[in-house]
Each structure stands twice: as C-alpha cells, then as structure tokens.
Amino acid sequence: MRVMLRVMLLGVIATTTMTATVAAQPAVTIDKTRVAKEYVDAGLAAQSSGDYDTAIELYSKAYQLVRHPLLVFNMAQANRLAGRIDVALRLYARYLQEDPDGPQVKNVYNIVAEIAAQRAEEARKRADAREAEQARKAEDARKVAEALEPRPAERVQLTAPPLADEPPTPGRTLRIAGITSGAVGVLALGLGAGFGLHARALSSELSQPGALYSQSKYDAGQRANTIAVTGLVGGAVLVAAGAVLYWWGHVEGERPGRVTLAPVSSDHIIGLAAIGALP
C-alpha cells in the first residue's frame, strides 16, 4: 500500500509540475513539489522503521507544501500505528471529506470498522475477566468456609450442587450488549466531532474578509455538518442506550427477572428495546 501511495503522489506531483510549466508559474512551485516528495519519501521510510512520530512530522511538512488528501491519509495511518486511535479517526474523517471518491475511501471504511470491532471485543474481554474474577473469589470463599467447617466424628453430610453446574450469571448478555453499544456510540461521536471540525473550518474559510465564494466548499461544508450532526446524535443515543443496558444487566445479575431484547424500528429510529419486569 505504501508503494501505491508513493506512485499516486508522484503522479500528482508530476501533474502539478506540468501544469506549472504550461502556465509559466514561478520556479518556487516546482521547488515546493520536489521538497514535498522528499518529505514523503523520508516519512515512508520512518514509518517503515517504526518511527511514527517522525513520519507524522514529515507528512505534515509535505502537506503544508502540497495539500493533497493522501497526505492526510498517511498521517492517519501513522497515528493509528502509533496507538493514537482517536487522532487517527479524526484524520480518517478529514480524508473522507477532502476526497470522498479517493482511492483510499474503501480502505478507510474497513479500518474504521475494524477499530470498532476491536474495541467491542476488548470491552467483552474486560467483562469476561471481571466475571471470571468474581467466580474465582466465590470459589476461594467456598473453600475457606469448607476448611473452617467443624468436622465431628459423626455428622450428617450435607451436599450442594457444584458451582460449575450453576446457571450462567444473569444479566451478562445485557451487559455485553450495553458495552458494545457504548463502544460503537463513542466511535460515532469521534467521527461526528471530526466532521464537525471540518465543517467549521470550511465555514471559516468562506467567511474570511475578501474570500471568494466557492460552491464546492459550501456544499462540502453542508455535507460535513450533516454527517457531524448524525454522528453526534447517533453516538449520544448509542452511548445512552449502552449505559441503560449495562445498568439493567447489573440489576438483572443482582435480582434475576424476566427481560427480553426486541428489535425496534420506525421511520425515524432503529435499535433494541429491553422488555420485561424485575421481581
């Protein structure tokens, strides 16, 4: 993929150089594209060696000279590899806004979906680890109580079903659903915030004194604003739903009742409804 990005950027730089020659632009434009290419090559080398901070700095310098959307994608990739996932998500959103039909759009959507799945899996593992810890403590308490139990010469042996035969912890499904919904909601909030910042930047450019009106920038700002509102509202709803489901699962674990998850959809909403009653 790095080779593809480098070839595509070289094509852009070559096109820019040819245009500059035909229009008899000053030589400084050619110098900028050459310097930008050198920054990109050095950034790719740094990224390959694992020096992500240096790669990000070099991509940023190249973007200041040649404002190509692929450089935004490169910065997002480097931040993701460095573990700065939230920063990477904002940069992915910015790339989609600057180049909605670009060559890396499909790749961006796949990466974002993978991040959401990873976060949901991490949340599930944390929930399983907490339940395993609680089960271990319960088993330790049972063994201690058994060790302290008096053992007369003759007594009636009382038996109880082993803990392994007990039914699964009530409310676990609701808690996992709540954690998953909350994780997806946080992701939607991050994307919404990224698009909101981009919409504000476009609006600021158009409102500058002496700025020329650009219909494309205006339309792009409207799309970014719509996506931002959808992401923020949808993310807030998912986070709130996740909190409710997790709380209900916790209550169900303390006092088992009868709760059922049912799909709900209409012209305006889609989601899950928890139906039931606590004893």
Report how far residue 197's alpha carbon sits from residue 189's, in angstroms, rounded to the nearest whole number: 12
Asked if residue 220 belongs to a domain, the reply is no
Asked if residue 108 belongs to a domain, the reply is no
Instruction: Work out the pLDDT band at 9, boundaries 50, 70, 90.
Output: very low
On whether the pTM is more than 0.75, the answer is no
Residue type, position 19, single letter: T
Instruction: Work out the pLDDT band at 20, boundaries 50, 70, 90.
Output: very low
Asked if residue 74 belongs to a domain, the reply is yes
Q: Which pLDDT score, from 0 to 100, does residue 176 have? A: 84
Question: CATH number of the domain that 8 lies in?
Answer: 1.25.40
Q: What digits encode the pLDDT tens for the residues 25-54?
A: 444 456 888 999 999 999 999 999 999 999
Asked if residue 268 belongs to a domain, the reply is no
Q: Which helix (H) or strand (E) holds 262?
A: strand 258-265
Q: What is the mean pLDDT of the chain?
A: 76
Half-sphere exposure of 38 (CA within 13 A, CB side): 6
Asked if residue 219 belongs to a domain, the reply is no
Asked if residue 128 belongs to a domain, the reply is no
Alpha helices by DSSP H, listed for the chain, are 2-22, 27-48, 52-65, 69-81, 85-98, 105-148, 172-207, 215-254
In total, how many domains does the chain have? 1
Q: What digits encode the pLDDT tens for the residues 175-222?
A: 788 788 778 878 877 887 887 787 777 677 767 776 666 777 677 777
Asked if residue 208 belongs to a domain, the reply is no
Asked if residue 160 belongs to a domain, the reply is no
Q: What is the domain range of residue 42? A: 2-83
Q: What percent of the chain has pLDDT over 70?
A: 67
- Residue 188 · residue 234 · CB < 8 Å: yes
